[in-house]
């Protein structure tokens, strides 16, 4: 294959993945645990604030890093659980975890004066599953 043909094929593959990114990969929601609650943090892929990343913390440690277009999750014992993240400013959310339930928390990077700041919002299961499927 000559160089022009190879360049054309690579350009076509790249352009297709940008126009229709859903065929490349999509995230799947993990299975629930009947003895613990499943808490899923996700962040839709957006250009605005895309370079900002933040750690999701809780009383026992860190759940993981939430980047644009990613999700992190954990299984937790029933009870009140507080999660937070701090870049320059901080946001937190408290969830009353029940065994066997799944909770979806959408994370967004809002623009601040000096840097982006985290913003959490708990969403219903149908919305969460639909948006996680697009990651």
Within a domain: residue 15? Answer: no
Within a domain: residue 1? Answer: no
Tell the residue number behind the tokens 């990343």, with chain if given: 53
Report d(CA 12, CA 73) in Å as an integer.
35
Tell the residue number behind the tokens 């994370």, with chain if given: 107
Within a domain: residue 45? Answer: yes
pLDDT per position as a tens digit, 48-101 = 666 778 889 999 988 888 888 889 999 999 999 999 997 777 889 999 999 999
Within a domain: residue 39? Answer: yes
Handedness of CA 35, 41, 85, 101 (dihedral sign): negative
Helix (H) or strand (E) holding 17: helix 3-19
Please report the pLDDT score of residue 18 as a whole number.
44
Please state the pTM of the whole predicted model.
Answer: 0.74
Please report the pLDDT score of residue 34 as a whole number.
92
Please report the pLDDT score of residue 48 as a whole number.
66
Within a domain: residue 112? Answer: yes
Task: Look up residue 68 and give its DSSP letter.
Answer: T
Please give the tally of structural domains in the chain: 1
Q: What is the extent of the structural domain holding 32? A: 25-133
Within a domain: residue 73? Answer: yes
Kindly state the tokens that stand for 52.
Answer: 């900002």
Q: Which range, of 4-13, 93-102, 106-115, 121-130, averages the lowest pLDDT?
A: 4-13
Query: Is residue 135 very low, low, confident or very high in pLDDT (cuts 50, 70, 90)?
Result: confident
Report d(CA 97, CA 101) in Å as an integer.
7
Report d(CA 29, CA 51) in Å as an integer.
24
Within a domain: residue 38? Answer: yes
Within a domain: residue 3? Answer: no
Please report the pLDDT score of residue 21 as a whole number.
42
Q: Average of pLDDT values for 4-23?
A: 53
Q: How do beta strands 102-111 and 37-43 pair?
A: parallel
């Amino acid at each position: 294959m000559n160089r022009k043909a190879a360049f054309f094929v690579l350009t076509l593959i790249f352009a297709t993945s940008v126009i229709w990114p859903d065929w490349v990969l999509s995230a799947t929601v993990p299975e629930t645990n009947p003895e613990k609650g499943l808490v899923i943090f996700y962040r839709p892929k957006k250009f605005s604030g895309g370079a900002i990343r933040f750690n999701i913390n809780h009383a026992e440690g860190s759940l993981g890093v939430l980047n644009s277009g990613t999700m992190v999750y954990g299984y937790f014992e029933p009870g009140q659980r507080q999660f937070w993240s701090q870049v320059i400013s901080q946001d937190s959310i408290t969830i009353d975890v029940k065994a066997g339930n799944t909770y979806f928390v959408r994370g967004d990077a809002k623009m601040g004066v000096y840097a982006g700041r985290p913003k959490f919002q708990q969403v219903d299961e149908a919305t969460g599953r639909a948006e996680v499927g697009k990651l």
